[in-house]
């Protein structure tokens, strides 16, 4: 198959021809052009009437949950902390049907950018290359025999008390029957420390991983382009978002497609060299914390297994002097990425307050109100986008807007920028606030598996006390607090130009007229500097 160089033009011509055919058909049925125009106008008016009826009809007769039905407090998850051989352990003792769940996070200070961007490739490679003594097929059989699964991945999180501070590292997870916990630890250590990057097959398999990641990346962006756009916009506001952008955003797309495009004769020596550097310190025991969820009858055995596991690990971290100002870089206020789509994907973000700040709860409620009472109607129903909404990432200290498969991005950006003023001028009813709170608590009170209990504290430092305080704040949010949050963190931020906007889609004259910064995208979907 050979791609068409003028696919976009052909698609536009086809759409124009189909539109002309439909217009001719409508004129023929109506008898004249004026009659056809009148029919279309009547249909549009009928649609607007129906939309207004939907927005104003009385829903009081429908069964519903009320805020007073939501418990004001929840029983905290019982956990205990201890330190063994200098390594913190968070214990969650609960009925697990004879299973042990393990997590470990190894944190890094000042990880170089050229190593951070290869963490995803490193975690993929150790599950593909095998060791000097075992092939990957043998390792996979061992993993299936002895565990319920193991994984390794990048981890970063902001502080719940200061979203501008963040930490990063690598996380190891695994689950196994209690009697197989030593085997689980051995498998994790073998995967990370013994993966053979020097084998003759390593360059080929790494290239295959890169090509698999790069193939179809345009289609991947097309399915969730707004996530990439929002991520890029957020990366100009906080360091934590900037870190995520490096390993899971458009910057990662750029890297993967560039590496996958290297000639077949390239042995990827520089890439493999950096992967080996990561391997040297990935599982070092210093700056490591662990969490174990298991039955109380298994804690002592698991403690001994963990001690033996950590005793075998090397010590040491990233060989780089620590600085007081970790690196991150802001982005342009408005960034546009040309891509061969007929529609657009975009996001707008502003920074707000830490998780523990009282205003955070009002911002969460505001995001639900804007999504369901304003953005859905204006951007989706009237603007023609497939979807749009607002989100408040309380832990990240970020408030954002998004739209996807959007044919009218200029209108959407205008609506996003004015959403704060709309919220300030809106007279919110008690019913509006109640619906928003119930929507928020769908995620707050959603059932969680036993292996997820207590993980907010381990992963991000959000304690049970913080969660209880946030729960009370969410239940107590008032109309006045919502308006104050909208004025301070949306209206005033927009007036000062503190927002960041990113859109992906077809290049049109409007983006140059509005002074957008363009980041070119090649045919594989990588942005160029």
Could you give phi then psi for residue 527, rounded to 5 degrees? Answer: -80, 145
Helix, coil or strand: residue 239: helix
Specify the pLDDT at position 524: 46
Model-level pTM? Answer: 0.86
- DSSP state, 320? S
Q: Among all chains, which residue has been given the structure tokens 């004879």?
A: 98
Dihedral angle sign, alpha carbons of residues 388, 436, 399, 526: negative
Specify the pLDDT at position 486: 98
Which string of DSSP letters, residue by residue, matches 252-281? Answer: HHHHHHHHHTS-TT---HHHHHHHHHHHHH
Specify the pLDDT at position 329: 67
Which string of DSSP letters, residue by residue, matches 444-509? Answer: HT----GGGTTHHHHHH---HHHHHHHHHHHHH--HHHHHHHHIIIIIHHHHHT--EEEEEE---H
Can you point out the beta strands (E) in 36-161? 80-84, 87-93, 99-108, 149-159
- What domains are defined for the chain? 80-311 (3.30.830.10), 332-518 (3.30.830.10)
Residue 179, CB half-sphere, CA atoms under 13 Å: how many?
A: 1
Q: Among all chains, which residue has been given the structure tokens 């009858």?
A: 297
Can you point out the beta strands (E) in 37-161? 80-84, 87-93, 99-108, 149-159
Specify the pLDDT at position 526: 41
Do the beta carbons of residue 150 and residue 191 sit within 8 Å? yes
- CA distances to 116, 321, 412 from 112, rounded to whole Å, are 6, 11, 38
Do the beta carbons of residue 486 and residue 420 sit within 8 Å? yes
Helix extents (H) in 296-428:
299-311, 359-370, 409-425
- DSSP state, 318? -
Q: Among all chains, which residue has been given the structure tokens 């201890």?
A: 82
Specify the pLDDT at position 321: 46
Q: Would you call 16 exposed, middle or buried from its count of C-beta atoms within 10 A (0-12, 13-18, 19+)?
A: exposed
Specify the pLDDT at position 108: 94
- Walk along the chain (529 residues) and give the pLDDT tens digit of each residue: 566 777 777 878 888 888 888 888 888 888 888 888 888 888 888 887 777 776 666 666 777 788 999 999 999 999 999 999 999 999 999 999 999 999 999 999 989 999 999 999 999 999 999 999 999 999 999 999 999 999 999 999 999 999 999 999 999 999 999 999 999 999 999 999 999 999 999 999 999 999 998 886 767 788 899 999 999 999 999 999 999 999 999 999 989 999 999 999 999 999 999 999 999 999 888 899 999 999 999 999 999 999 999 999 988 666 554 444 456 667 789 999 998 888 999 999 999 999 999 999 999 999 999 999 999 999 999 999 999 999 999 999 999 999 999 999 999 999 999 999 999 999 999 999 999 999 999 999 999 999 999 999 999 999 999 999 999 999 999 999 999 999 999 999 999 999 999 999 998 888 877 889 999 866 444 444 4
Do the beta carbons of residue 337 and residue 504 sit within 8 Å? yes
């Amino acid at each position: 198959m050979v791609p068409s160089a003028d696919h976009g033009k052909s698609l536009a011509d086809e759409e124009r021809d189909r539109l002309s055919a439909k217009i001719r058909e409508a004129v023929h049925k109506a008898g004249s052009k004026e009659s056809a125009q009148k029919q279309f106008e009547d249909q549009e008016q009928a649609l607007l009437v129906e939309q207004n009826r939907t927005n104003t009809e009385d829903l009081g007769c429908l069964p519903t949950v009320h805020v007073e039905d939501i418990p004001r407090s929840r029983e905290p998850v019982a956990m205990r902390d201890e330190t063994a051989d200098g390594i913190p352990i968070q214990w969650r003792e609960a009925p697990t049907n004879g299973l042990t769940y393990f997590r470990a996070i190894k944190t890094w200070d000042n990880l170089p950018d050229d190593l951070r961007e290869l963490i995803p490739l490193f975690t993929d490679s150790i599950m593909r290359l095998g060791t000097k003594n075992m092939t990957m097929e043998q390792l996979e059989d061992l993993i299936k025999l002895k565990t319920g699964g193991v994984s390794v991945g990048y981890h970063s999180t902001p502080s719940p008390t200061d979203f501008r501070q963040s930490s990063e590292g690598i996380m190891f997870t695994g689950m196994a029957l209690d009697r197989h916990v030593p085997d689980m630890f051995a498998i994790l250590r073998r995967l990370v420390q013994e993966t053979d990057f020097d084998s003759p097959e390593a360059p080929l398999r790494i290239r295959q991983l890169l090509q698999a990641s790069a193939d179809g990346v345009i289609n991947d962006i097309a399915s969730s382009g707004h996530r990439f756009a929002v991520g890029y916009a957020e990366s100009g506001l906080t360091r934590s978002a900037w870190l995520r952008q490096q390993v899971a955003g458009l910057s990662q797309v750029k890297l993967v497609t560039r590496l996958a495009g290297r000639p077949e004769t390239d042995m990827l020596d520089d890439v493999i060299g950096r992967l080996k550097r990561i391997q040297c310190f990935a599982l070092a025991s210093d700056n490591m914390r662990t969490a174990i969820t298991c039955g109380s009858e298994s804690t002592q055995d698991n403690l001994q297994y963990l001690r033996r596991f950590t005793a075998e690990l090397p010590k040491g971290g990233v060989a780089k002097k620590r600085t007081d100002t970790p690196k991150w870089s802001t982005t342009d206020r408005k960034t546009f990425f040309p891509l061969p789509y007929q529609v657009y994907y975009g996001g707008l973000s502003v920074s707000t307050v830490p998780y523990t700040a009282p205003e955070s709860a009002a911002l969460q409620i505001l995001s639900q109100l804007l999504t369901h009472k304003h953005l859905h109607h204006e951007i989706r129903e009237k603007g023609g986008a497939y979807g749009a909404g607002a989100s408040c990432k309380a832990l990240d200290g970020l408030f954002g807007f998004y739209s996807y498969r959007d044919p009218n991005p200029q209108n959407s950006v205008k609506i996003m920028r004015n959403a704060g003023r709309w919220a300030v001028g809106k007279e919110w009813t008690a019913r509006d606030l109640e619906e928003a709170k119930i929507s928020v608590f769908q995620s707050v009170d959603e059932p969680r598996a036993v292996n997820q209990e207590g993980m907010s504290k381990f992963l991000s430092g959000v304690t049970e006390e913080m969660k209880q305080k946030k729960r009370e704040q969410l239940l107590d949010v008032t109309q006045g607090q919502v308006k104050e949050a909208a004025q301070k963190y949306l209206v005033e931020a927009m007036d000062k130009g503190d927002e960041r906007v990113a859109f992906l889609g077809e290049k049109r004259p409007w983006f140059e007229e509005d002074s957008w910064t363009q980041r070119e995208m090649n045919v594989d979907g990588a942005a160029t500097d």
